[in-house]
């Protein structure tokens, strides 16, 4: 579809817009398109009103999986839909609740938007790849190790089945598989905030950072501003499909601790503990070939730059 020129009116619906990534997306849209008309739907189970400081749009405080969309909107009310609402706690073991909220919320949106074929970009996850010790491309098998990853895989299935219908030909419904996102605006997530934030908090308090033995597990840590950029580019590309949203690099938890020590001016040694989670991924890394070639996505943050800037931001908030 292409994004609108500066100053143009852009009517946008963002579900999960009070959450970590969703609120950053809302802020970006309202900053770059002064005449954007943004509507947020969020039930605040994993969002926070502080993330929407300065928000000038409309807020619907509802669960998207149970919301009667047409009681509030008409499909033609929006030029674009970003769907980030989800149960984001990957530890949730209630399979019915996880699938009901995540899958049916997306189905509700698809049914609402199908008549006008309003473009939809939605959040998927690297958790769909499961425990797979390789650099993952979008065409790799999906082998989710928990029900959260399973629910995200079902969103992708639902989108694919919907787009196979002849009347939906040309409808731009696409997913961005988020890898391990960190950055400003995640503190409200508590235990589900990134490990970078968790380790920062431990070290800031003067405690040895606790990580699973021996800290050599690696992750594709990606800054929130990079995944927001990838999400916007996926919408702008106007192509149906699935795209990886990562940094394209894998770094260990020991690396993170070293970078935090550098940023904080500390010398705390890791405290290695046993891993109690069977679904823990020992390695994640995004193959960005498709995202680069089809979307023009290029991450702006290395882990070194991202951690340094994030710690500086956190320290400023504490003043």
Catalytic residue list:
148, 189
> How many angstroms separate the CA atoms of 290 and 47, rounded?
31
> How many angstroms separate the CA atoms of 136 and 218, rounded?
13
> How many angstroms separate the CA atoms of 38 and 42, rounded?
13
Would you call 92 exposed, middle or buried from its count of C-beta atoms within 10 A (0-12, 13-18, 19+)? middle
CA–CA distances in Å: residue 141 to residues 149, 154, 192: 13, 14, 26
**Position of tokens 């998927």?**
124
Measured in Å, how far apart are the chain's first and last C-alpha atoms? 43
Instruction: Assign 3-class secondary structure to 150-186.
Output: HHHHHHHHHHHHHHCCHHHCCCCEEEEEECEEECCCC
How many helices and strands (H and E) does the chain possess? Answer: 9, 13
Nearest to 158 by CA among 230, 217, 108, 90: 108
Helix (H, G, I), strand (E, B) or coil at 117: coil
Determine which helix (DSSP H) or strand (DSSP E) holds 210, and give its type and residue range: strand 210-212
């Amino acid at each position: 579809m292409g994004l609108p020129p500066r100053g143009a009116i852009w009517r946008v619906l963002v579900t999960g817009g009070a959450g970590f990534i969703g609120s950053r997306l809302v802020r970006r849209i309202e900053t770059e398109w002064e005449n954007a008309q943004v509507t947020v739907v969020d039930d605040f189970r994993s969002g926070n009103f502080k993330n929407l400081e300065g928000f000038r749009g409309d807020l619907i405080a509802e669960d998207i999986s149970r919301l009667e969309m047409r009681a509030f909107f008409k499909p033609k009310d929006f030029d674009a839909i970003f769907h980030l609402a989800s149960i984001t706690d990957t530890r949730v073991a209630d399979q019915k609740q996880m699938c009901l909220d995540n899958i049916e919320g997306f189905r509700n949106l698809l049914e609402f938007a199908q008549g006008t074929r309003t473009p939809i970009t939605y959040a998927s996850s690297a958790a769909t790849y499961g425990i797979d010790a390789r650099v993952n491309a979008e065409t790799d098998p999906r082998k989710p190790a928990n029900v959260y990853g399973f629910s995200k895989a079902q969103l992708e299935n639902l989108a694919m089945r919907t787009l196979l219908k002849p009347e939906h030909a040309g409808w731009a419904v696409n997913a961005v598989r988020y890898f391990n996102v960190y950055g400003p605006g995640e503190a409200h997530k508590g235990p589900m905030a990134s490990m970078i934030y968790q380790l920062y908090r431990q070290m800031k308090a003067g405690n040895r950072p606790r990580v699973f033995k021996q800290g050599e597990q690696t992750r594709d840590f990606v800054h929130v501003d990079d995944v927001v950029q990838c999400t916007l580019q996926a919408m702008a590309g106007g192509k149906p499909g699935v795209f990886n949203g990562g940094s394209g690099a894998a770094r260990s938890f020991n690396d993170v601790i070293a970078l935090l020590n550098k940023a904080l001016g500390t010398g705390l040694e890791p405290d290695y503990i046993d891993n109690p989670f069977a679904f823990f991924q020992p390695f994640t890394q995004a193959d960005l070939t498709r995202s680069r070639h089809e979307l023009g996505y290029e991450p702006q943050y290395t882990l070194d730059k991202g951690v340094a800037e994030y710690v500086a931001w956190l320290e400023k908030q504490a003043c």
